[in-house]
């Protein structure tokens, strides 16, 4: 099983490079910000920085969980950590389950802290992980927070996947009580409903990564590993704009102040304009994984090649390519902030959003009203 888990890590990278986002879109085309024709600020006054998990980061962009657990992906994590360090960004490692079962693989994760010694690093475990195992995952990379990923749909799509989910909420509750760092509950691409958000908040969770549909699709990835397709299954999930509204609404109903928790928007956010919409809705930060991985790898090793994972020499120069992508992304976010009259992220959180089409219909039927200035 351990070897199968390691091989699966490579398959996931191969399929992520090969597949497009979707089939659902993220919903942000139905979220609109109001143009400010007379912003009372100058471009150089815009501040994208924030305090996240107890440390200052230069941007709300989180390089989200991508990989780990196979010696051949160590170079990928090294380069991602170098990008995060140079740009002052938070970084989450991929699932550490493989390392917990085979300590020889820990170097594929610890390389992140080695190359981003002072930054925000987030550990990652599955929801069936024991407290003891989770604490070990935190310790190995000196993590500032720990993600617990929810991936029921992915497990069901895997022939070898887990079929027992009853104890997940208890595992999460136990970890919240014993973890020395904040626990971030994260969906992997199918969204979190307000009902699940309420249950998590009742258990003491205050950091939620909504992981909505519209980006990398792990059901599609698992089905392609089996040379299968299933349009109905692959279309499952709550699009990112909708799940973000569900979770933000739950926070508001619970009266949780903005500074006491964090909602992280992930799921197919592919430009700074969509990021600005997510932040205006109430997200503290937004995450990207698949699109960054593609910038790092696609032009280096074609996805159909047998030797998918590059060596160190293959990645020379690719850090700059990823940084250019992030720079363009953040430039778009900055432009959106100017055009809404937002000098900082707190200003942007208070800007009105107009919901149309599918998002409006969803919120109306789900009785969700997004209040300003969360």
Enumerate the known binding-site residues: 8-9, 65-67, 95, 124, 154-155, 186, 216, 268-270, 289-290
Residues at the binding site for FMN are 65-67, 95, 124, 186, 216, 268-270, 289-290
In whole angstroms, what is the distance from residue 82 CA to residue 298 CA?
19
Residues at the binding site for Mg(2+) are 155
- Give the closest residue to 276 by CA, choosing from 329, 341, 340, 333: 333
Residues at the binding site for substrate are 8-9, 154
3-state secondary structure of 272: helix
Residue 17 belongs to what H/E stretch?
Answer: helix 2-18
Give the distance, in angstroms, between the CA of residue 72 and the centroid of all CA atoms in the same chain: 23
| Summary count for the chain: helices (H), strands (E) | 16, 12
Beta strand segments in 145-182, E: 145-150
The first and second tokens of residue 172, run together, are 């999460």
Beta strand segments in 34-89, E: 50-52, 55-57, 61-63
What is the β-pairing status of strands 31-33 and 353-355?
antiparallel
In whole angstroms, what is the distance from residue 370 CA to residue 374 CA?
9
């Amino acid at each position: 099983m351990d070897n199968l888990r390691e091989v699966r890590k490579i398959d996931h990278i191969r399929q992520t490079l090969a597949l497009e986002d979707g089939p659902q879109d993220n919903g942000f085309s139905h979220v609109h910000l109001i143009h400010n024709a007379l912003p009372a600020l100058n471009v150089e006054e815009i501040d994208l920085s924030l305090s996240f998990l107890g440390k200052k980061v230069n941007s709300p962009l989180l390089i989200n969980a991508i990989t780990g657990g196979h010696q051949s992906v160590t170079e990928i994590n090294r380069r991602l950590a170098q990008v995060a360090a140079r740009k002052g960004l938070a970084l989450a490692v991929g699932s550490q389950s493989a390392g917990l079962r085979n300590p020889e693989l820990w170097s594929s994760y610890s390389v992140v802290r080695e190359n981003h010694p002072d930054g925000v690093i987030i550990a990652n475990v599955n929801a069936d992980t024991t407290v003891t195992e989770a604490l070990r995952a935190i310790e190995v990379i000196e993590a500032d927070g720990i993600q617990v990923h929810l991936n029921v749909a992915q497990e069901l799509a895997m022939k070898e996947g887990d079929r027992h989910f009853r104890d997940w909420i208890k595992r999460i509750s136990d970890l919240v009580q014993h973890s020395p760092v904040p626990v971030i509950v994260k969906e992997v691409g199918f969204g979190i409903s307000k009902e699940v958000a309420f249950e998590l908040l009742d258990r003491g969770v205050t950091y939620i990564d909504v992981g909505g549909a519209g980006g990398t699709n792990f059901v599609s990835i698992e089905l392609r590993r089996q040379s299968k397709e299933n349009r109905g299954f692959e279309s499952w999930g709550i699009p990112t704009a909708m799940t973000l509204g569900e979770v933000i609404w739950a926070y508001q109903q619970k009266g949780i102040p903005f500074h006491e928790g964090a909602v992280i928007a992930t799921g197919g956010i592919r430009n700074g304009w969509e990021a600005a919409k997510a932040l205006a809705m109430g997200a503290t930060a937004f995450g990207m994984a698949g699109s960054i991985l593609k910038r790092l790898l696609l032009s280096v090793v074609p996805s159909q090649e047998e030797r998918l994972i590059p060596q160190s020499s293959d990645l020379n120069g690719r850090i700059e390519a990823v940084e250019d992508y992030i720079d363009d992304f953040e430039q778009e976010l900055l432009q959106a902030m100017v055009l809404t009259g937002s000098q900082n992220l707190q200003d942007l959180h208070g800007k009105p959003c107009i919901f149309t089409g599918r998002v409006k219909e969803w919120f109306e039927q789900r009785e969700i009203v997004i209040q300003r200035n969360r």
